[in-house]
Amino acid sequence: MPPEIIPSPLPAPRYRKRKRRRLFFPLIFIFLILLLLAAATYFFPGLLKAPPYKSTALVIGNEFIGEALVRVEEREILIHIQTLKEHLDPHFFWDDAEKTAVITTADRVIHMQTDNLTAEVNLRPVELQFPLREIEGDLFLPLLFLSDFYGLKATHFPETDTVVIDRYDDRATLAVVKAGSVRLRTGPGLRYPYRARLNRGEKLRLEMPAAGRWALARTGTGITGYVPLNALELKGPYPTPEPPPQTTPAKQPQLPQQPVIMTWEYTYPNPDVNTIGAMPPLKVISPTWFHLRDGEGNLRNLADPAYAKWARERGYYIWALVSNDFNPDLTARVLSSSALRRKVIDQLLIYARLYGLDGLNLDFENFHYSIGDLYTQFVREMAPLCREAGLVLSVDVTMISMEPYWSRGYDRGALAEAADYVVLMAYDEHWEGCPEPGSVASLPWVERGLQKVLKEVPPEKLILGVPFYTRIFQVENRAGGDKQVSSRSYGMERAEEIITGKDYTLEWDSRARQHVARYSEGESTYQLWLEDSASMQQRLELVKRYNLAGVAGWRRGLEKAETWELFEEILFD
């Protein structure tokens, strides 16, 4: 059988390679065409002019805010209240129930009601040309009337139908167009449509620093957009609008020299001033005189002219205490009404003039956190009126916690911004109904709380409240191993007198940094963390260490005489 012949493999035909080359070049060509189309599509909008605004445009600084947010009528510019709140005044307050707008600045509080040509500025009537108005269901405020209060200038450019708002303290750069036919674009790039063509020598207001190679600019007629930096010549600061002449308030609050040494005076009833000894370093006394009385905003007045005369003769500043009577329902009723807040403030200003007060100390406690913003608004409304009347305004706050009635309602940072001082009540770590015995204010607890509050309140505005009292805890042993804990508070000297006649032990609590006394009577044991010179000295050292504004003691009459000497020795060394 003849051998099988296996044919050798043949090389691949040459025409196949030539076919691949013929396909490669058309693919490259198609890719380039697609690339050019993509580039043209990307940059094509830059050849187009942006459509004109359909209604009046609003520009703040160099930022385009939007359309239909302002209206121009005769000689007034009306601005939507929500736009005002979002872009100019985050503290603007609208009372929908009473149709009242409340605007607060450092030295003014303005009340305006819908369609009412009479407004109130610092509780005094002012006639308006244009009122707060409701237009097609939206509320608009007269901007030109408010511009001086806000420290801004508003201008309408009819040729572009644009309203421009500038603040007197804004800073910008003056630039001049150095190239011809430069386009002001809607975004920082050549692909964005343009709003206007700029001519050589045209002046612009620039926001610096710029976004890369592009700067946000505004023309002399209020049009805003982006310009390439290389087409501009920078000339220095942009001219700022001239502010109106400032009127000086009739009085200015007289702040005591720091450190402020303050104490509260418990006036139920007012004390016999002839029994009050010397308190050498004391600067401020706060008698508990004014309290919310009812849901109509009336105050209960416990002031004593004789006490006020005595305090002035001793050279003390009088910051009368104002409380909400620790009544959450009453507090909510009064703070929820713009009219009632105004009524309370008006009464306080009258009392301040009547008794020759130097300040007011707000002590609102035990209110639900849901009305915390209303309390802040109340303080904002009171602050400029106190400032005008020459009154120092201080606000008491508790330690930071999640407690809904005793802590969460305080926006401590906002309160510090409005008031002259914030007083931190750094006591009642263990309170009257506390289930466990403990210190009224152990040093670590005080310092931790102080550090938290200092994240919101600047130290030069913070006064540390300290206790002049001690709680004696009684632990009663009952059948079955149960224990009943109760306590009563006593002044520093009285607490020491109580334990003197007992068979007690005294030891140093290294954690609380206080002396602790213990004794037994019958089936009960008694414990008290003493407030004395040792505990007070360490709190005063905190005042110095954290550069606080001062210290306030609750309350006068509970301290030992040497406490004032300790204040003077440590804080004025």
- Is 43 a residue whose pLDDT tops 60? no
Cβ burial of 566 (10 Å; 0-12, 13-18, 19+) is middle
Given a contact cutoff of 8 angstroms between Cβ atoms, the answer to whether 558 and 469 are in contact is: yes
Residue 234 — very low, low, confident or very high, per pLDDT cuts 50/70/90? very high
Structure pTM?
0.90
49 or 35, which is more confident? 49
* Mean pLDDT value across residues 144-155: 94
Helix (H, G, I), strand (E, B) or coil at 134: strand
**Cα atoms in the 13 Å half-sphere on the side-chain side of 248:** 4
DSSP-assigned letters across all residues of 257-316: PSSEEEEEE--SS---GGG----TT--EEEEEEEEE-STT--EEE---HHHHHHHHHTT-
Tell me the CA end-to-end span of the chain in Å, nearest whole number: 128
Supply the pLDDT for residue 251.
Answer: 73
Do residues 424 and 453 lie in contact, with contact meaning Cβ atoms separated by under 8 Å?
A: yes
Distance between CA 319 and CA 223 in Å, rounded? 52
Reduced to 3 states, what is the DSSP secondary structure of residue 507? Answer: strand
DSSP for 425-470, written as a single string: E---SS-TT-SS---SS-HHHHHHHHHHHHTTS-GGGEEEEEESEE
3-class SS of residue 471: strand
What would the pLDDT profile of 329-386 be if each residue is shown by its tens digit? 999 999 999 999 999 999 999 999 999 999 999 999 999 999 999 999 999 999 999 9
Return d(Cα 503, Cα 522) in angstroms, integer.
Answer: 12
Sheet with 483-491, side-by-side order of all strands? 483-491, 469-477, 524-529, 514-521, 505-509
Question: Do residues 386 and 392 make contact, with C-beta atoms less than 8 angstroms apart?
Answer: yes
Task: Report d(CA 219, CA 225) in Å as an integer.
Answer: 9
What residues have CB less than 8 Å from 388, skipping those under 6 apart? 107, 122, 249, 250, 251
Report d(CA 356, CA 354) in Å as an integer. Answer: 6
pLDDT of res. 34: 64
Amino acid at 547: N
How do residues 425-439 score in pLDDT, each as one tens digit?
999 999 999 999 999
Give tens-digit pLDDT for 386-402: 999 999 999 999 999 99
| Chain segment 282-324, per-residue pLDDT in tens | 999 999 999 999 999 999 999 999 999 999 999 999 999 999 9
The DSSP bridge partners found for residue 59 are 64, 164
The sign of the dihedral angle between the CA atoms of 435, 465, 312, 573 is: positive
Whole-number Cα distances in Å, 451 to 115, 378, 421, 444, 475 = 48, 26, 17, 11, 33
> Which residue segments constitute the domains of the chain, with CATH numbers given?
57-166 (3.30.457.10), 175-237 (2.30.30.40), 260-467+534-571 (3.20.20.80)
